Structure formats: C-alpha cells, structure tokens
Amino acid sequence: MRITCSGEGFARARSFARETLCGWSLGHRADDAVLVITELASNAVVHAAPAVASDVPEIGLGLARHPEHVMLTVSDPGDTMPVFAPPDGSALQEGGRGLCIVDALAEEWGWSPRLPAGKTVWAKLSTRSHT
C-alpha cells in the first residue's frame, strides 16, 4: 500500500494495519502493529521524505503473515540508515523515541537498501498472544 505523507495517509496506514491483522485473526497484535507502523512511517516522513523533490512524497507500507510472526515494512525514498538512539533517561524528551518503541515491541527489526534508491525498514512482531 502506498500512502501520502499526510494526516490522512497516516490514518489510512493505521486502518490498513488494524483491519489486515484482524482479518488474519491476529487482532491481539493489532495495537502493537499500528504503533510500529505509525513510528516507522513517521520516521520516513521526518528523515527521508524531505529529501524528495515532491510536494507530497509517498511511502510504501507492507504487511506479510508468517506462521510465527508478522512482518511490517515501510519503504521510503531516503538512502540513509535509521539511527537507533537508546533513551538518555530524559522522560521529557519530545522526539527521538520512535525506534526505541519499535525495538521494545518487535522481536527484531532492521533495514535494507532498495535499488535504485531508497530503503525499507522492517519489524517482526510475534503472532503469539502476550498472555
């Protein structure tokens, strides 16, 4: 799915993630998936989309179901790798916690370059229930 970097685009991304996981009988992971997709998409908008010479850049979202996990992906036009900055202990910090949230919720996450340009950031969520 492609979305524009806008409030409407983020709302579509959240709905897409929630509806897809519920359709896969994985509603118990929908809240985490929505949060991870939102954080990854936000990072794409803040760090990658400004580099694109377009009025309303687009980013790509992907969801894939595997027996043990769900793979969430966000593709953007930026070539720079995501930077994970562990929390510095400041509870009042306004930004910079997105990948920390992703790291806390995902079994693992990472990124890979896309040819001819851009990257895909991915996160794996377990399909198991929290209980």
The 3-state secondary structure of the chain reads: CEEECCHHHHHHHHHHHHHHHHHCCCHHHHHHHHHHHHHHHHHHHHHHHHHCCCCCCEEEEEEEECCCEEEEEEEECCCCCCCCCCCCCCCCCCCCCHHHHHHHHCCEEEEEECCCCCEEEEEEEECCCCC
> How far is the C-alpha of 116 from the C-alpha of 105, rounded, in Å?
31
Give per-residue pLDDT as tens, 20-49.
Answer: 999 999 999 999 999 999 999 888 877 766
- 100 pLDDT more than 80: yes
> How far is the C-alpha of 83 from the C-alpha of 86, rounded, in Å?
10
- 68 pLDDT more than 80: yes
Of residues 39 and 55, more confidence is placed in 39
pLDDT of residue 70: 97
Tokens, residue 73 = 């992906």
pLDDT of residue 131: 59
pLDDT of residue 44: 84
With bands split at pLDDT 50, 70 and 90, how would you rate the model's confidence at 71?
Answer: very high
pLDDT of residue 65: 96
What is the average per-residue pLDDT within 71-98? Answer: 74
pLDDT of residue 73: 95
CA 64 to chain centre: 13
Residue from 52, 20, 57 nearest 37 by CA: 20
Tokens, residue 62 = 């992907």
What is the average per-residue pLDDT within 55-77? Answer: 88
pLDDT averaged over the chain? 84
With bands split at pLDDT 50, 70 and 90, how would you rate the model's confidence at 6?
Answer: confident
